[in-house]
Amino acid sequence: MKVVVLVTLAALVVIGAIAFLFVLGMRAGTPSAQPVAATSQAVAQPTVAPTSSPTADATSDATADATEEATSGPPFASSMDPAEMYDAYMEMKRRGKIYEIIPDTDEGRAYFTAFMYSIVDLKAAAIWGPLDAESLADLATREQHFLALEDLDLTVDITFEDGTSFTHDGKPPAAG
Predicted pLDDT at 77: 84
| More confident call, 22 vs 68 | 68
pLDDT tier for residue 140 given thresholds of 50, 70 and 90: very high
pTM of the model: 0.59
Contact by Cβ (8 Å): 82, 96: no
Q: pLDDT over 90 for what percent of the chain?
A: 52
Local structure of residue 159 (DSSP, 8 states): E
Angle at which helices 133-147 and 106-125 cross, to 10°: 170
Q: What is the DSSP code string of 85-138?
A: HHHHHHHHHHHTGGGGTS-SSHHHHHHHHHHHHHHHHHHHHGGGSPPPHHHHHH
pLDDT of 37 strictly over 90: no
Pick from 37-41, 46-50, 105-109 the range whose average pLDDT is largest: 105-109
| More confident call, 146 vs 66 | 146
- How is the chain split into domains, by residue range? 2-33, 66-168
Percentages helix, strand, coil for the chain (3-state, rounded to 5) are: 60, 5, 35
Mean pLDDT (the chain) is 73
Mean pLDDT, residues 47-61: 41
* Integer angstrom CA distances of residue 137 from 80, 126, 140: 12, 14, 5
Predicted pLDDT at 72: 59
